[in-house]
């Protein structure tokens, strides 16, 4: 979960100009590609408006009770960067992380609807106790523990409270990895939820429901010094750069000759993860307050924004497609189009893999219409992406798979 420094990413980006043409057949999507409703509501703050807005958001999807009653709910939250300052005088939750009040409100809603157990999943430094990490991120731990559902916190960077990892195979024809070793919390649940932030990403263009799970990959298999439960560091060599191999028993890449570009790999690994995990049954995207231009304050420049939106859906690809359209982006945009300047479009790649529909004209959007929800992320953003060697490879040279 540790952020990759901007200077290192610039070095990684230099590989764009040197990558050879790598053409291969695109995956044939499952027919028909699944589509599920997506709900959009207006919410102007994380205070008094939040709970009524969430209730309306979920009611438009048929309500929470039918989804969570009697179940173990696993929620992957986006706390990229860990406990740190926010941007522009705002907190991390108001800018680049899921806001603590939204996490609490969602958990309260799940518990009230009859969830039996709630597991909050994220990765952090293995030496830090869970309570210390989440408290420093601004979470109200006493309120979470007071819920009628049992609330647990799992560090998915490691094996955590389990004796072993889950070996989960990718259900579609994989882009990069055929399977993943993951913390068993991701498999031993009845309902998997992505609680993400509406924002850009340096390499992937967008980090929404799908990209939220990139940090689910455990450090002992995919980290800088992979090989044991004492491993630390990020995921540069194995995942971002492709210069290293996962530690056994994690399976190697399906094609070690594929491009080594960060923007090529991050999006495809994110899609492969979505295809290996249990189906992501509920996606919730925090667009009340956010930033534009990157995923965290280690990326510069960033600009704070107030879209005042909450978006939720029952299919991760449909949800991300609607969110991208609400951000004034084309959910089917190709490499080189906004915001996919450095990386390929994970939404489109996931649709090709048959995970869900990225065609918003075929998605049942409930609540606010897309014209009503539209908040333009593009003006004045990505000026730092428009020059240099990062945009020299044309879309036609990237191949589909």
Per-10-residue mean pLDDT, the chain, length 401: 38 34 37 89 97 98 97 97 89 97 98 98 88 94 97 95 96 98 97 98 95 96 90 90 95 96 96 98 98 91 94 98 97 93 95 97 98 86 42 39 44
Exposure string of 278-292, with b = 16+ CB inside 10 Å and e = fewer, is ebbbbbbbbbbbbbb
Strands 117-122 and 72-77: parallel
User: pLDDT at position 347, please?
Assistant: 98
**pLDDT score at 362:** 96
Structure tokens at 271: 């899609």
Give pLDDT, residue 376.
Answer: 93
3-state secondary structure 283-307: EEEEECCEEECCCCCCCCCCEEECC
Predicted structure pTM score: 0.89
Structure tokens at 57: 């958001």
Q: Which of 204, 375, 217 is nearest to 299 (CA)?
A: 204
The predicted pLDDT at position 13 comes to: 39
Residues 268, 176 contacting (CB under 8 angstroms): yes
Distance CA 346, CA 351 (A): 8
Please tell me the predicted confidence (pLDDT) of residue 396. 35
Residue 214: DSSP 8-state: G
- pLDDT of amino acid 232: 84
Q: What is the pLDDT of residue 390?
A: 37
């Amino acid at each position: 979960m540790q952020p990759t420094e901007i200077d290192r990413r610039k070095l990684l980006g230099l590989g764009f100009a040197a990558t050879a043409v790598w053409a291969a057949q695109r995956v044939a999507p499952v027919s028909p590609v699944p589509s599920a409703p997506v709900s959009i509501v207006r919410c102007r703050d994380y205070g008094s408006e939040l709970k009524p807005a969430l209730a309306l958001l979920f009611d438009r999807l048929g309500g929470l009770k039918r989804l969570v009653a009697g179940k173990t709910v696993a929620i992957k939250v986006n706390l990229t960067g860990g406990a740190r300052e926010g941007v522009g005088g705002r907190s991390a939750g108001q800018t680049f992380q899921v806001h603590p009040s939204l996490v609490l409100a969602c958990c309260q809603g799940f518990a009230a609807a009859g969830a039996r157990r709630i597991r909050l999943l994220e990765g952090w430094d293995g030496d830090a106790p869970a309570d210390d990490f989440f408290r420093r991120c601004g979470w109200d731990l006493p309120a979470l523990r007071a819920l009628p559902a049992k609330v647990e916190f799992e560090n998915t960077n490691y094996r955590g409270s389990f004796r072993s990892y889950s070996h989960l195979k990718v259900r579609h024809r994989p882009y990069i990895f055929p399977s993943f070793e993951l913390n068993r919390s991701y498999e031993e649940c009845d309902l998997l939820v992505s609680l993400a932030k509406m924002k850009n990403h340096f390499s992937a263009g967008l980090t929404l429901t799908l990209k939220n799970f990139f940090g689910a990959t455990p450090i002992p298999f995919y980290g800088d010094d992979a090989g044991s439960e004492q491993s630390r560091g990020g995921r540069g060599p194995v995942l971002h750069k492709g210069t290293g191999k996962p530690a056994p028993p994690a399976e190697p890449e399906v094609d070690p000759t594929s491009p080594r570009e960060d923007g090529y790999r991050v999006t495809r690994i994110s899609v492969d993860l979505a295809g290996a995990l249990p189906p992501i049954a509920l996606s919730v995207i925090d667009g009340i307050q956010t930033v534009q231009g990157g995923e965290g304050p280690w990326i510069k420049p960033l600009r704070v924004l107030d879209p005042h939106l909450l978006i939720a859906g029952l299919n991760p690809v449909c949800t991300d497609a609607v969110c991208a359209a609400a951000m004034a982006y084309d959910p089917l945009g190709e490499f080189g189009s906004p915001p996919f300047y450095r990386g390929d479009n994970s939404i489109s790649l996931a649709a090709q893999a048959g995970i869900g529909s990225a065609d918003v004209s075929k998605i049942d959007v409930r609540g606010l219409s897309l014209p009503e929800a539209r908040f333009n992320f593009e003006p004045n953003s990505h000026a730092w992406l428009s020059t240099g060697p990062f945009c020299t490879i044309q879309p036609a040279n990237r191949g589909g798979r």
